[in-house]
């Protein structure tokens, strides 16, 4: 498997190498002659006085050229105006190919690095640094190579640190996928990788909470279902010896309780599973509350007509659960008020009972929670109230009665 950090690291090193190569080539091709070229130019200017005249014997010109070559530490050749070799020291050097160069002009010749200088009398002085002498370009290449090496060494821990964080994130994802719901990854830095790690942790926490909630729901459901089932089983055993109206009513109540509990469990699971509301339409909340209040005695409804976009069936269940809770655990009269606030619609349901103790005002919205002294219900009604309210852009709480807020237009999910 090709590691990401190796791919990033190799890309950086390759970029530096290409940069060093291109810079060296450009310097080699476009750079000026440098100090050595300047030295040849000065030496050539002085050679006019050091060299004998053009018509001097070849031996004299050879001796003068040898003296000049020792001073320059270079291979030197002297050519006539017609580019005939007059004298040479060191390796052979090619004659200039053009007469267009004016006197005193220094130029680099074709082939290996060499410079030609045209003297005032028409002769040509050609010089070249011996091959064992280091060319200035080698220093540039060496400098660029050292820079590339330093950057490469410095980049390695940076690249490796980045990819290690990605590897830890990958390990966390694999742990989560293997069922380790408590898997989390450290959030390091403030870059995109850190944001990704934070998003992963938030998603993992949400999944862990949902799974734990479903496990708790199933555990409580299995416990709560045993009671009506046991009563039904006992009633069936007693029916064998004959049945009376009282037993039949008891069996019907147990069956109704069991049916309601299963319905609430299924609705709670559906609200957790569905990403958005099913059927949204305009609902007159006051009219809907009036229909539900008519099912109970001693309920007083007040408020104003409020239009809300939502799912009618869920809103009806929300109102019914609030009224059922007041009927089972409170005392009449029960007052229901519908009002439109500055930013939300509020439903308040209060009764003349003792109310919810301070320590239980948040826990009453937990699934299967039943307060001290409660003998009826499975503890799912108020939990569904909060779920439905949140699906409609609001929330549920207890403060001098149960208060449910709903957004006029629930946000899309």
- Tell me the pLDDT tens digit for each residue of 271-317: 766 666 767 888 999 999 999 999 888 899 999 888 888 888 889 98
State residue 409's pLDDT score. 60
pLDDT at 45: 61
- List every span in the chain annotated with CATH 3.30.565.10: 281-406
Q: Kindly report the pTM of this predicted structure.
A: 0.46
Mean local confidence (pLDDT), 380-384: 84
Provide long-range contacts, Cβ within 8 A and 24+ apart, for 283-290.
283/307, 283/308, 283/309, 283/310, 283/312, 283/315, 285/315, 285/338, 285/345, 285/347, 285/406, 286/338, 288/312, 288/315, 288/316, 288/319, 289/319, 289/336, 289/338, 289/347
In terms of Cβ atoms closer than 10 Å to its own Cβ (0-12, 13-18, 19+), residue 27 is middle
Residue 61: pLDDT band with limits 50, 70, 90? confident
Q: Which pair of structure tokens corresponds to residue 226? A: 């045993």
Angle of helix 312-329 versus helix 285-293 axis, rounded to 10: 40
As a whole number, the mean pLDDT across the chain is 76
Segment 90-111 shows an average pLDDT of: 60
The C-alpha angle with vertex 60 and arms to 55 and 61, in degrees rounded to 5, equals 65
List, by residue range, all CATH 3.30.450 domains of the chain: 32-133
Considering only residues 68 and 144, tell me which one the structure prediction assigns the higher pLDDT.
68
More confident residue, 273 or 30: 273
Looking up tokens 């320590």 gives 359
Q: Locate CATH 1.10.287.130 in the chain.
A: 192-273
pLDDT at residue 348 tops 90: yes
The answer, yes or no, to whether residue 254 has pLDDT greater than 60, is yes
Q: Which pLDDT score, from 0 to 100, does residue 242 have?
A: 62
- Percent of the chain past pLDDT 90, that is, above it, reads 9
- 349, pLDDT greater than 80: yes
**More confident call, 129 vs 42:** 129
Question: What CATH code would you report for 192-273?
Answer: 1.10.287.130
Architecture category of domain 32-133 in CATH: 2-Layer Sandwich (3.30)
Domain 281-406: give its CATH architecture: 2-Layer Sandwich (3.30)
């Amino acid at each position: 498997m090709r590691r990401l950090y190796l791919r990033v690291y190799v890309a950086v090193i390759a970029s530096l190498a290409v940069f060093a190569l291109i810079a060296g080539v450009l310097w080699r091709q476009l750079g000026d002659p440098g100090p050595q070229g300047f030295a040849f130019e000065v030496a050539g200017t002085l050679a006019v006085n050091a060299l004998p005249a053009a018509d001097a014997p070849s031996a004299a010109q050879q001796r003068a050229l040898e003296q000049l070559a020792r001073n320059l530490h270079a291979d030197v050749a002297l050519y006539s105006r017609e580019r005939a070799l007059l004298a040479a020291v060191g390796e052979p050097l090619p004659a200039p190919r053009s007469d267009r160069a004016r006197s005193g002009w220094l130029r680099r010749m074709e082939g290996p690095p060499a410079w030609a200088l045209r003297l005032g009398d028409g002769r040509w002085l050609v010089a070249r640094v011996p091959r064992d002498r280091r060319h200035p370009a080698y220093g540039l290449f060496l400098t660029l190579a050292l820079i590339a090496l330093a950057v490469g060494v410095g980049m390695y821990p940076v690249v490796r640190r980045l990819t290690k964080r990605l590897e830890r994130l990958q390990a966390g994802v694999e742990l989560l996928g293997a069922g380790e719901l408590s898997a989390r990854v450290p959030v390091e830095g403030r870059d995109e990788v850190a944001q990704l790690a934070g998003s992963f942790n938030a998603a993992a926490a949400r999944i862990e909470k949902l799974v734990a909630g479903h496990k708790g729901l199933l555990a409580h459901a299995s416990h709560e279902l045993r009671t009506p089932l046991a009563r039904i089983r006992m009633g069936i055993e007693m029916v064998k010896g004959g049945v009376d109206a009282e037993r039949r009513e008891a069996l019907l109540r147990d069956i109704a309780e069991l049916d309601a509990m299963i319905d609430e469990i299924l609705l709670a699971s559906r609200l957790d599973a569905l990403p958005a509301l099913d059927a949204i339409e305009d609902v007159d909340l006051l009219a809907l509350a009036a229909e539900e209040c008519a099912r109970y005695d001693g309920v007083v409804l007040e408020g104003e007509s409020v239009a809300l976009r939502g799912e009618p069936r869920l809103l009806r269940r929300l109102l019914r659960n609030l009224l059922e809770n007041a009927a089972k655990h409170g005392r009449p009269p029960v007052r229901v008020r519908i009002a439109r606030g500055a930013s939300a619609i509020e439903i308040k349901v209060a009764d003349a009972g003792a109310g919810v103790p301070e320590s239980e005002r948040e826990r009453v919205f937990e699934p299967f929670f039943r307060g001290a002294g409660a003998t009826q219900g499975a503890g799912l009604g108020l939990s569904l109230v909060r779920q439905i309210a949140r699906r409609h852009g609001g929330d549920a709480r207890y403060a001098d009665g149960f208060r449910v807020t709903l957004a006029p237009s629930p946000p899309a999910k």
